[in-house]
Each structure stands twice: as structure tokens, then as C-alpha cells.
Amino acid sequence: MRTLTRTTTEERRRLPLSTADVVIRAIEGEDGGERFRGYAAKFNSRTAIGNPLRWGFYEEIAPGAFTKTLQEGDARFLVDHDSYYVVSRVSAGTLSLAEDAAGLPVDSALDPALSYVNDLKANVRNGNITGMSFGFYVLKDQWSTETIDTSEGPAEVEVRRILEVRLIEVSAVTFPAYEDTEAELASVASALVQRGDQAAIERRAKWRPELRDLLQLVDAGTSGGGPRGPAGNRAGGGPVCEQRGALAAHSTDTSDAAWDGPANAKDLPSEEAALRMAHAWVDPDGDANAKSSYRFIHHFVDMDGNVGAASTVACTTGIGVLNGARGGTTIPEEDRQAVYKHLARHLKDAGIKAPELKAVGSEPGESTRETSTPEPTTAPAAPEPAETTRSDLDVRLLRMKGLAARYGLATPRA
């Protein structure tokens, strides 16, 4: 058993409605009104993440896991993890979060002037809200092994006990925690990447070979394979050799709200982790903690510097720049295509068909590199070889790139 301390990707966990104890209650007193009350998390309640007998694990939250974050943070109450639908906020005095013996109770004001708040109340009463969830970063966790009885006899399983988290938000949710096995695998991968334990991944790779490739991605992204610590350092080691150029595509919440790029950039802290989350490209030769090294900002940033949902407006605008709008871009062609995939992924998640990426120099005035030249028109470009003609190394690299995009990890290079 060991305790690890490091921050990686944001995770989410859900309580079903029956466990979350969600209610809408009238406020006693002169002002009247109603409040939302429920639990976003329960302590010592064991949840299966993936298949614990093969490639997953059990997880539980320890009492006190929220103590520090509630003292230092400023969480919001959202609907379906969407930062556009903010119901209340701790610093505004409209949201109360405080641990009790059972878990993390939520007590929120409900402003009827917000149309989606009225929708939330109706959905709770009509049974359309199916539970509560919370978004968080794990700061400390503890892994142990237990033996449980199964229909086939005793079996060993691993248990992840979360000791401390950084709370981002709590949400009323309308969808189950996991809609498919792919989502479960993503959650397992996130925990295992944070854990940084080769043996833990190898044990599960028998059932899910993708996890073995994830180990290689961790090695590539941490300059030698050590687990990452806060601010991007290996635990007990030196700085991480992060991916530069185009940043890996990833799936996040999206929003079609009005977009103001300079305003969001102004609120963004000059910290590598936040800068990488908000942009799609970083200068390989630039200062990783300088805003000037980054391009294609497309995530909303609140006044506290927290990076939120991807803007569909910013993603569409960014693709326009890749195609030559607003003077185009000078990033290398291979990065241009990767940035396009990054922005197009967000649009796909939002159910929007991304504009096509035009060839460099395909139209007058749309050259996207200062040194670019029009493609030859006398002969078509040679077709890409069929995958069956690629070497085993090429096929493996392609598969690893796909996994990197899926889990938001560093893209491996040949």
C-alpha cells in the first residue's frame, strides 16, 4: 500500500438520485423561494470503476477528502457539468458546501430569474434529473488489495481510496455515470495514468490491451516514465518533457455562448498546465509559462483562472484561421492538421460538423504559412499507402496516437 500525491486530469463521479437525496424545498421566512438540496458524494461508499475483477477497480471517498478544498476553493453548482448553466457559487453566497458525517451535502439557492433554474426545478420534480455528480482532481489517493468472494471463488481486487481532492464543481445530472464501456475505460485510464504504476497497467492489459499502450504514452509524456506531480513535474524528479507544437485532441464540455478571446486570455493564469488546457498549440521554442507561446485559445476561463468548456464559436473561428482567415497562421503544416483535429473534436462533441481543412494555398490569399507555396496541379499527390503496407512500428505509432487523442495525453512522435 502506498500514498501518491499528484494532479492529472479532471475526473467525475456520480451518485444516483436515490442516494443523492435530492429535494427542492421551500424557504421559510418572508422572502419565500426555494432551495436545492442533495449530496454530490457519499463517504465510504464503494463504487465499481470499470470491471474490478479484470481491468477496473473499486473506489471509495474517505471522510475529510473535501476539507481542504472547501476552505480554499470557490466551487460552482452547474447543470450537467456545463459551465454555461451556473446555478450558484460559493463566493457569491448562493451555494453552501460543507462536509458532514455522510459526505458532501449541497445546499443551493434557486434564482427564478434564470430560465434554466426553472427547468432544473421542473426536471427534479418530474424525475428527469437522475442524480448528482462532482468534477474534481485527485491530490492524494491510496491503493490496496482485497480478496472478495465471487461465484467462481475468491478473487483479488484493487481498491482506490481517495484521500484528498480539489473540487471544481458539483452538478445535477440527467445521464448515467457511464453510458458505454469506452467511458468506463477512460475513467480507469485516468486513474492509472495518475498512479504511474507499470505493474498496475500490465495486470489489466490482459483484458484491455489499450492500457499497455497507455503506459508507453505515460513514459513519453513524463521524460522517463515517472508519475507527474503538480505543475507538471515528475514525483521526486525534474521537469516533465511535455508535448510541444500541436496539443493532443481531447473531449470536454462545450458551449455555444458568446465568445471573447482576449477576455478569456486575460483571465488565464501564466501557468503551463492552465495554458495547455486552454489552447491547441504551443511554440516548441517558447517559454511554457508565457501566454505569448500559445495559440488557438478556445476554452472559456472564469475570473479565477479556471479553464472550462470549449467554445464552439472559438473552434469554428480557429479552423477559419487555419484556412487563411484573419491573415492565416504560420504554424508548420503538420501542426496545422493536428490543431484542426483538436478543434474539430470539440465541434464533434457538440454535435457540429466541422468545416473542412483546406489544402495550403488552395485559394488565393489563403496560404497558411509564410513560406508556403501552392500545391502542384499537374499531377495528383501520391495516395497514402494502405495500412497493410505500413511497418509494425508505424501501425503501433498510429494506434498510440489514437489513444493519446482519446485520453488527452501527449502525442507520441516517430
Q: Pick from 184, 165, 332: which is nearest to 245 by CA?
A: 332
- The helix (H) or strand (E) run that includes residue 140 is strand 131-150
Model pLDDT, residue 238: 31
Geometric angle at alpha carbon 41, from 256 and 18, rounded to 5°: 90
In angstroms, rounded to a whole number, what is the distance separating the alpha carbons of residues 8 and 256?
Answer: 27
Please count the residues of the chain: 414
Q: Please list the pLDDT of the chain residue by residue as tens digits (414 residues).
A: 333 334 356 788 889 988 999 999 887 655 668 999 999 999 999 999 888 998 999 999 999 999 999 998 899 999 998 888 999 999 999 999 999 999 999 999 999 999 999 999 999 999 899 999 999 988 899 999 999 898 888 999 999 999 999 999 999 998 765 544 566 777 787 788 778 777 787 888 888 877 766 655 544 444 333 333 333 333 333 333 344 588 878 778 899 999 999 999 999 999 888 898 899 999 988 888 899 999 999 999 998 888 899 999 999 999 999 999 988 998 988 889 989 999 999 999 899 999 999 886 555 443 333 333 333 333 444 443 333 344 455 555 555 555 555 555 555 555
The gap from C-alpha 127 to its chain's centroid, in whole angstroms, comes to 28
Percent of the chain with pLDDT over 70: 73
In angstroms, rounded to a whole number, what is the distance separating the alpha carbons of residues 160 and 149?
Answer: 19
- Tell me the three state secondary structure of residue 76: strand
Question: What type of residue is 347?
Answer: L
Furthest-apart CA atoms within the chain: distance in Å: 81
Cell (9 digits) for 60: 471509495
Find out whether 36 and 136 touch, Cβ atoms under 8 Å.
no
DSSP bridge pairs for 396: none
DSSP bridge pairs for 104: 41
Q: For strands 254-255 and 11-16, give the pairing.
A: unpaired
- The helix (H) or strand (E) run that includes residue 394 is helix 392-407
Task: Say whether pTM exceeds 0.75.
Answer: no
Find out whether 289 and 274 touch, Cβ atoms under 8 Å.
no
Residue showing cell 428527469? 128
Cell (9 digits) for 87: 446555478
- The helix (H) or strand (E) run that includes residue 57 is strand 57-61
| HEC sequence for 273-325 | HHHHHHCCEECCCCCCCCHHHEECCCEEECCCCCEEEEEHHHHHHHHHHHCCH
Supply φ then ψ for residue 400, to 5 degrees: -70, -35
347-385 tens-digit pLDDT: 998 999 999 998 865 554 433 333 333 333 334 444 433
In angstroms, rounded to a whole number, what is the distance separating the alpha carbons of residues 131 and 100?
Answer: 19
Geometric angle at alpha carbon 11, from 190 and 401, rounded to 5°: 35
242-295 tens-digit pLDDT: 445 888 787 788 999 999 999 999 999 998 888 988 999 999 888 888 999 999
Question: What type of residue is 381?
Answer: A
| HEC sequence for 181-235 | HHHHHHHHHHHHHHHCCHHHHHHHHCCCCHHHHHHHHHHHHCCCCCCECHHHEEC
